Structure 1
């Protein structure tokens, strides 16, 4: 369960509603598993020191402040950057690709390619990666390329575009573009007015992001 509010006062009000509901239904929130995070606002005044942040309590017990947390498998940070989540995916990709190369070394290339598509192309929540540097994305791209090379036992410095073309497999940037375009299409067809608002304006951050991805893909191609 996640609560979002523009101020500490509003958050306390939301928590009081939760406490009342839990009390009337014989429930109790686990304070040890509850925490809060203050998102940094760009262009605003410097963040208050941790000691100056008003105490936020649940059932009379103060909540712990965190600077990042994992929600539905996706890492959120107080600066709204995606480097931590990209690193999570890079590490997971390394584990999966090494597992495939080790366990299925004797299989045919077609079987290996099929397994690679199933286990190494998910890039979970990659469509949400918006605030990140090229360095963090490049690290994931290199891991993706090297995993494919290792699985098919290709030379370390062979052309990535050539090996994916010959294997009829999407490269890293093609997957990112498809994932992002799929998210935009789902948001446009959603009945939720808030989601439609994010993609309804041509100058919205979502449009700028997907346009950047398309331009990047054309330059690489």
Structure 2
């Protein structure tokens, strides 16, 4: 469970509500497994932040935590989550290459599409460095080369076109477009508000960021 508040006072009130609910239902929150992140606005952080307490004990202040598999950082940047995805892709690709080395090309292509193009929560990436993003692209290309037994110096665009497999940029654009479409079709009032904003930072980023990166 995640609690979000714009102030320390508001967060304390939310925690108090949770503590009362837990006490009335015979539950106890595990303080050792609970953490607090102070999000920075434009890289700035309050010089003094009162301790956040749960069951009377102060919570550890951390710079990042993983929520539903997605790494959330205090600076609101996505580099850490992109690195998580790059490492996960490397593990999946090497596992497939070892176990299915003697399969046909068609089987390998199907496995690559199924296990190496998911990029879990990549739709949410909005603020990251090109270096980290490019490292994931290189990993994606190399994963396909290893699986198919191709030279590391062969053309990425050529090998994907020949196999009719989406390249990295195409995969990312499809995922971003999918999220935009679902947000705009949602009946949720909050998502509808975001979709209706012409100057919406996040949706505009989904529509344009991967186009710019591909230049």
Query: TM-score, structure 1 length as denominator?
Result: 0.92
Structure 2's unaligned 5+ residue stretches are: none
Alignment length (residue pairs):
215
Q: Distance in 2 between matches of 1:215 and 1:58?
A: 45
Report 1:8-47 matches (<5 A).
Answer: 8-42=8-42, 46-47=44-45
In structure 2, the residue corresponding to 1:4 is in which secondary structure? coil
In structure 1, the residue corresponding to 2:66 is in which secondary structure? strand
In structure 2, the residue corresponding to 1:69 is in which secondary structure? strand
Query: TM-score, structure 2 length as denominator?
Result: 0.95
Q: Distance in 2 between matches of 1:128 and 1:160?
A: 26
Report 1:163-182 matches (<5 A).
Answer: 163-182=159-178
Structure 1's unaligned 5+ residue stretches are: none
1:116 to 89, 108, 112: 112
In structure 1, the residue corresponding to 2:174 is in which secondary structure? helix
Higher mean C-alpha deviation, range 57-66 or range 201-210: 201-210
Provide the aligned C-alpha RMSD in A: 1.5
CA apart distance, 1:208: 2.4
Question: Does the CA-based 8 Å contact 2:39-2:45 persist in structure 1?
Answer: no
1:52-77 deviation digits (Å, cap 9, x = unpaired):
32011111111111110000000000
